[in-house]
């Protein structure tokens, strides 16, 4: 039969194993205006927030009226290097950040 101490040690070991081997490092924020301008190669492109969540951003071209998605990972890679990636930590519209492994 398992004792409480033995179970506690087993659980503690599993918790340590479950932790990420490497922690991500924050390298900078996301400028949605710049992300849209880089992605669509158009200096008049605008980052427009259509709601309140991280995924409510769109790129909008006022000259043509066209809108499209924002590739936030592409922005992070372009701005901070090829291994960078985007993560909307809290899920809010302004919670985006760029990280490297």
The answer as to whether 91 is a domain residue is yes
The answer as to whether 5 is a domain residue is no
In DSSP terms, 86 is beta-bridged to 98
Q: Which sign does the torsion angle of CA 5, 11, 15, 18 carry?
A: positive
Q: Which domain holds residue 63?
A: 23-100
The answer as to whether 45 is a domain residue is yes
Identify whether the C-beta of residue 57 lies closer than 8 Å to the C-beta of residue 93. yes
Give percent above pLDDT 90 in the chain.
77
CB atoms within 10 A of CB 35: 25
With tokens 């809290």, the residue in question is 90
The answer as to whether 18 is a domain residue is no
The answer as to whether 38 is a domain residue is yes
Total of domains in the chain: 1
pLDDT in tens, 40-74: 999 999 999 999 999 999 999 999 999 999 999 99
Mean confidence (pLDDT) of the chain: 85
The answer as to whether 4 is a domain residue is no
């Amino acid at each position: 039969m398992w004792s409480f101490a033995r179970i506690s040690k087993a659980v503690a070991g599993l918790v340590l194993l479950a932790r990420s081997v490497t922690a991500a490092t924050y390298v900078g924020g996301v400028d949605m205006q710049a992300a849209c301008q880089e992605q669509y190669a158009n200096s008049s492109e605008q980052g427009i927030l259509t709601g309140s969540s991280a995924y409510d951003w769109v790129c909008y071209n006022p000259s043509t009226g066209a809108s499209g998605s924002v590739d936030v990972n592409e922005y992070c890679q372009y701005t901070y290097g090829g291994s960078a990636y985007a993560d909307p930590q809290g899920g809010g519209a302004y919670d985006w950040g760029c990280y490297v492994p």
